Amino acid sequence: MLHYQASDVPLVHDALDELATRHRLPARCVARLHLAIEEHLANIIAHGGYPGPTGTITVRFELEPDALRVEIEDDAGPFNPLDAPAVDTSLPLEQKPLGGLGILLIRKSVDELEYRRSGNRNVLVMKNRLIAS
């Protein structure tokens, strides 16, 4: 469990690396999840709606027969990243609006993505198939 502090994010990455090493998970699957986790945690920390480190983030890993499942739960304000509009990457840099690229990276880094609101908590589930790289 993390408090909303960016300095604690490496703990999640360390846990994923430990799981990957122990179960010899495909490097590509793990690298893509690292990117998605980093982006989602950064969004929660930066935009969670708390004036200080008052919230909690819970990250769970589950190894399924053919996929690695990551569940990130937080008590920030309701936010469904699946509802965020797609970023137009064809625009020239000077015309691009700020924000949205993290969600695009998450969408492109995982094979399955689902969101739900459970009580007063956001739950984002990311899955990547365990296909050798």
Domain boundaries, the chain: 2-129
pLDDT digits (tens, 9 = 90+) for 9-39: 899 999 999 999 999 999 999 999 999 999 9
Buried b (16+ CB within 10 A) or exposed e, 1-18: ebebeeeebeebeeebee
Indicate the DSSP class of residue 71. E
Q: Which pLDDT band, with edges at 50, 70 and 90, does 2 fall under?
A: very low
Residue 8, Ramachandran bin (φ over 0: left; ψ between -120 and 50: alpha; else beta): alpha
pLDDT of 1 over the 50 cut: no
Dist. CA 63–CA 87, nearest whole Å: 31
> Which tokens in the block code for residue 56?
């909690």
Looking at domain 2-129, does it have CATH number 3.30.70.660?
A: no
> pTM of the prediction?
0.84
